[in-house]
Amino acid sequence: MKSEVMLYEGKAKQIYATDNEKVVLMKYKDDATAFDGLKKGVINNKGIVNNRVSNLLFKLLENEGIETHLIEQIDDRNVLVKNLKIIPVEVVVRNVVAGSLAKRIGEEEGLTLSSTIIELYYKDDELHDPMINEYHARVMGWATDEQLKELHAQAHKINDILKAFYDSIGIILVDFKLEFGLYEGRVILGDEISPDTCRLWDKESLEKLDKDRFRRDLGKEEEAYQEVVQRIEKALA
Ligand code: UDP
């Protein structure tokens, strides 16, 4: 089914054409980048973990009525997904203050928010993914009003499902990033949900089990990623 035609190569994944134009193959790499690509490295087996974690979480979401791009995992690193027209707006969902929010509002990391914050960023590497609001997205034609409404509704629902699931396996879902795309006129969830795109803290020790270990040189990245996939598999597989 996979062709040799690579349609796109991102920092952590490659996308290949298949013999069906409505389907693409996504291949997860071990390459890790941070700070707009300034820091580069490898986390061994990261691609395998992210493929597994993302597919298990997408299946969980599908069972709860959220449509995702997932079709079928092919092997360790490869998954067939629906070929979406990606909406160039990254949706960040936050339950606890961390990362760029901590800096922006001058708060310590770790403060639990009284309710969920959703932020939008324009997906553009050259511009370093600037934060935007709904006006920018609508006026610039990146998403319609209706699509923005749908993005927000789905982001809240996804957060409710994932926060409860992670809590059940002893992990705090601090924040995460989502990408959506259009498929047959519908707004559906794409990209990945993995320790690369989420902040995940152990509920007891508050130990970081996500890409911040790489960003902040904390070490034991591979072990943290394995810990996440093992807890998820124990609960879901
Ligand atoms: N995130 C991501 N890709 C991005 C930017 C952010 O997956 O291009 C995720 C990040 O892993 C974290 C959440 O979105 O879980 C919020 O990130 P933040 O705005 O704090 O930015 P960062 O830590 O990347 O500076």
Mean pLDDT of the 86-94 span: 98
Q: Which residues pair with 2 in a beta bridge?
A: 18
For 8-42, the pLDDT digits (tens) are 999 999 999 999 999 999 999 999 999 999 999 99
For ligand 1, the distance from its centroid to the CA atom of residue 19, given in whole angstroms, is 34
pLDDT for res 206: 98
196 C-alpha to ligand 1 centroid (Å): 9
Query: What DSSP string runs through 102-151?
Result: HHHHT--TTPEEEEEEEEEEE--GGGT--EE-HHHHHHTTSS-HHHHHHH
Domains in the chain (CATH in brackets) are 6-82 (3.30.200.20), 85-221 (3.30.470.20)
Structural contact between residues 121 and 92, judged by C-beta atoms closer than 8 angstroms: yes
| pTM of the full structure | 0.97
Task: Tell me what pLDDT residue 221 has.
Answer: 98
Each residue's pLDDT tens digit, 173-226? 999 999 999 999 999 999 999 999 999 999 999 999 999 999 999 999 999 999
199 CB near ligand 1 (under 6 Å)? yes
